[in-house]
Each structure stands twice: as structure tokens, then as C-alpha cells.
């Protein structure tokens, strides 16, 4: 990870190169305070004690026009939940073949969702945070290539993107310290927009391997179960627990309406890593808002369901002890929940917005509710 001294050095280098290239520096920030309203509960990184650090963020983006259709972009992000250490979120070069086609290479955002390109820019959307039932994959960047094609299809604006690359890093998939290696990430996403309506679809695949952290009880238990199955000669069942070079797929579809003062957004996504302990995920959200003057009020409903195919249960009925352990492991990664969010946004300045969100998270597995309130000031500069 590149820390703050390197970030400062990059900015200084860009400034010194301004005679050879046109350099533009932009930034954004979010100051967020939040807490749960219930004792002994946590959600979105908050507990019953108010925190100004968990979701706060400060970032600078440096863009340099190197002439002859070549440009460079770097985004440096400092997150509160990482002690505001500055890391390079993006760093890539772009070459424009034509006004419609451009190729980028480097570290970029994976285009999973509608708001992927603006995921950290709170000012770009009406919530304090995008709906987490959908925006929940534990990584958001990749290193590789992106081919972007923009065009007009009649009266429609068309944006078609192809990506290829990989990801290698720490994620929180099953435990908080898993090590992931995603090879041959390939994907396509297509956005069509006409006047007040836009629609988007995305499909991505990858070869997925995740080593579960042994510093967590869940990781220890699953790694131990896999080892016992292999020692017992049950290779197929062990492979069904391990996440090693398995096929991962992601599908997403969404649409958006901005008609007069009425706002509506909805996204549906599915994610699966075949033949692994990870449950197949299916989730969606629908959000309606109303704009009047500098205010937007909104309501959002989210639904999430992570589960395994029922045929994977009772895989070893002849060995009750191991069969019970497998069923317990499969049950341990299941999830089913709903979230209701009521919020408001006030654009009190041309470059700043004040937001307040109240969210109720309902866990249908444990039959518990958690209420979270968050207040944010989002800035762009």
C-alpha cells in the first residue's frame, strides 16, 4: 500500500510537470457520524457509541492530459476506518483511439453497479451510503484493461464497456482477513439512457480462489473441516468447501428514473462461486425519492438472500458426524435480511450536501432488528 508520503510526492511531481501537461486536481470528502440505537448491536461498522470515523473519507483525484490523446489518472483515498492512511484507489493510463473508443490500463474500479464509478463520492447519490444489501462485494478495484465505447443508438445514449484483469488482496468474504486471488476477470456492462430514463446490465466472470483466515473461529472451523474431509478420502466434499480456482459469476441489472421531481432507482444482482462454501447471493433494492428546491426526501427497501442449493445438504448421510459438520458449515454462510431506509438530503451549498438516514436492518435468520442513524456532510471540490 502506498501511504501519504508517496501521495504527496505524486502531487508534487504532477505540479512540476505542469509545463508539459495540463494537470487537474479535484477532490471529494465525506464527514459521517453514525451509531446504532440498540445496545449490544452493530451494523455498517457502528455500535451504540457514536463514531465520526467509520465511514468518513477524504480523497484527491489527479488527472493529467499528456497530449496526443494520452492521459493519466490517479485517485488517492484516505478512509477513516483505515486511520486515514492514504492509498492509491485508482492509477491508470487512457488512450483515445477516437471520440467514441478509449482504452485504459492500470488499477481501476470494477463496474459491478450503477454507482461503481462514484462509489466513494457521497455527493453523487442521495443516501449516506449506497444500499449495502446490493453494494456488498468485498472488493471494488482490479488491475487490468478497460475498453469503453460510447455512441448514439437513435435517440439513446449508449455506453458499452469491456474489462479484463485480476485482483489479489485481503478481503472480508467469510472472515475479516481472507486472502483472495481472482484471475481472468472478464466482464461487460452496457448502459442505455434516454432523457429521464436509463437502464444498465452487467455480467462478469473470474477464476476465484480465497484462503480463509485462520485468526478467526469461522476460518479455523472451515479449514479444519476441509482438512478432515481430505484425510478421510472425501475429496469431492472437501473441494466443495474450499474456494480454489472455482468459477465465479456476477450478474446485475438496474434502471433509473429522474422525471420532473420524482426519482426512482432499482438494482438487482446475483453472485455465485460454484462448488465452494460461499452461498449464492441474490439481492435487490428499490428506492423512491422526491425533489423540492434544495431538498430530496427518499425511502429505500432492500432485500438480501444468500443460500445454498438444497441438494448440497445431507451429502454424507452415512457419516452422521461429518454430515452434521458440513450442514452446519453451509448454514453458517446463509443470510436473509431486509432493510428499510428513510432519509433526506439538503444541498445547502453548490458543492456540499447534508444528509440524514435512518435504517432498520431486519435479520430473518436470527429474527433480530438493528436500527442505525447516520448524518453526513458530503463535499466535492
Mean pLDDT computed over every residue of the chain = 93
Mean pLDDT, residues 181-198 taken together: 98
Lowest average pLDDT, out of 25-29, 60-64, 138-142, 315-319, goes to: 315-319
CB–CB of 88/2 below 8 Å? yes
- pLDDT above 70 covers a percentage of the chain that reads 95
Whether residue 37 lies inside any domain: the answer is no
For the chain, what is the domain count?
1
Mean pLDDT, residues 102-118 taken together: 97
CATH assignment of the domain containing 152: 2.40.160.10
Mean pLDDT, residues 111-119 taken together: 96
Name the region of 44 (left: φ>0; alpha: ψ -120 to 50; beta: rest): left
Confidence of residue 12 (pLDDT cuts 50, 70, 90): low
Whether residue 85 lies inside any domain: the answer is no
pLDDT at position 321: 87
Angle at 265 between CA 359 and CA 280, to 5 degrees: 75
Mean pLDDT, residues 327-355 taken together: 95
* Domain assignment of residue 341, given as a range: 94-380
Q: Is the pLDDT of residue 145 over 50?
A: yes
Whether residue 275 lies inside any domain: the answer is yes
Residue 133, SS3 per DSSP: coil
* CA pair distance 357, 171, nearest whole angstrom: 27
Whether residue 277 lies inside any domain: the answer is yes
Residue 196, SS3 per DSSP: coil
Q: What is the pLDDT of residues 18-31, one digit of tens each?
A: 556 799 999 999 99
Confidence of residue 15 (pLDDT cuts 50, 70, 90): low
CB–CB of 306/137 below 8 Å? no
Give the residue from 60, 43, 51 showing the smallest Cα distance to 381.
60
Amino acid at each position: 500500500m502506498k501511504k501519504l508520503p508517496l501521495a504527496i510526492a505524486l502531487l508534487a511531481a504532477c505540479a512540476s510537470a505542469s509545463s508539459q501537461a495540463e494537470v487537474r486536481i479535484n477532490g471529494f470528502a465525506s464527514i459521517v457520524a453514525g451509531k446504532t440505537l440498540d445496545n449490544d448491536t452493530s451494523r455498517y461498522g457502528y455500535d451504540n457509541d457514536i463514531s465520526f470515523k467509520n465511514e468518513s473519507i477524504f480523497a484527491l483525484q489527479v488527472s493529467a492530459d499528456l497530449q496526443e490523446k494520452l492521459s493519466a489518472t490517479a485517485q488517492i483515498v484516505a478512509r477513516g476506518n483505515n486511520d486515514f492512511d492514504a492509498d492509491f484507489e485508482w492509477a491508470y493510463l487512457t488512450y483515445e483511439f477516437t471520440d467514441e473508443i478509449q482504452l485504459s490500463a492500470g488499477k481501476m474500479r470494477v463496474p459491478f453497479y450503477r454507482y461503481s464509478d462514484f462509489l466513494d463520492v457521497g455527493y453523487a447519490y442521495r443516501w449516506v451510503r449506497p444500499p449495502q444489501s446490493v453494494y456488498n462485494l468485498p472488493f471494488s478495484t482490479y488491475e487490468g484493461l478497460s475498453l469503453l465505447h460510447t455512441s448514439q443508438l437513435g435517440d439513446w445514449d449508449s455506453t458499452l464497456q469491456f474489462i479484463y484483469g485480476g485482483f489479489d488482496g485481503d478481503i472480508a468474504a467469510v472472515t475479516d482477513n481472507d486472502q483472495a486471488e481472482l484471475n481472468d476477470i472478464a466482464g461487460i456492462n452496457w448502459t442505455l439512457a434516454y432523457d429521464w430514463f436509463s437502464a444498465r446490465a452487467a455480467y462478469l466472470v473470474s477464476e476465484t480462489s480465497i484462503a480463509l483466515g485462520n485468526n478467526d473461529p469461522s476460518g479455523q472451523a472451515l479449514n479444519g473441516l476441509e482438512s478432515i474431509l481430505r484425510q478421510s478420502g472425501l475429496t469431492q466434499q472437501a473441494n466443495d468447501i474450499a474456494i480454489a480456482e472455482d468459477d465465479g459469476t456476477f450478474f446485475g441489472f438496474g434502471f433509473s428514473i429522474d422525471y420532473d421531481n420524482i426519482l426512482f432507482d432499482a438494482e438487482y444482482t446475483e453472485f455465485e462461486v460454484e462448488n465452494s462454501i460461499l452461498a449464492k447471493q441474490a439481492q435487490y433494492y428499490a428506492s423512491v425519492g422526491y425533489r423540492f428546491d434544495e431538498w430530496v426526501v427518499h425511502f429505500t427497501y432492500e432485500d438480501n438472500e444468500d443460500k445454498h442449493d438444497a441438494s448440497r445438504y445431507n451429502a454424507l448421510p452415512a457419516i452422521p458426524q461429518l454430515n452434521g459438520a458440513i450442514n452446519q458449515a453451509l448454514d453458517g454462510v446463509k443470510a436473509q435480511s431486509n432493510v428499510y431506509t428513510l432519509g433526506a438530503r439538503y444541498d445547502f451549498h453548490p458543492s456540499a450536501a447534508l444528509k440524514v438516514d435512518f435504517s432498520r436492518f431486519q435479520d430473518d435468520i436470527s429474527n433480530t432488528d438493528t436500527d442505525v442513524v447516520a448524518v453526513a456532510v458530503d463535499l466535492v471540490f
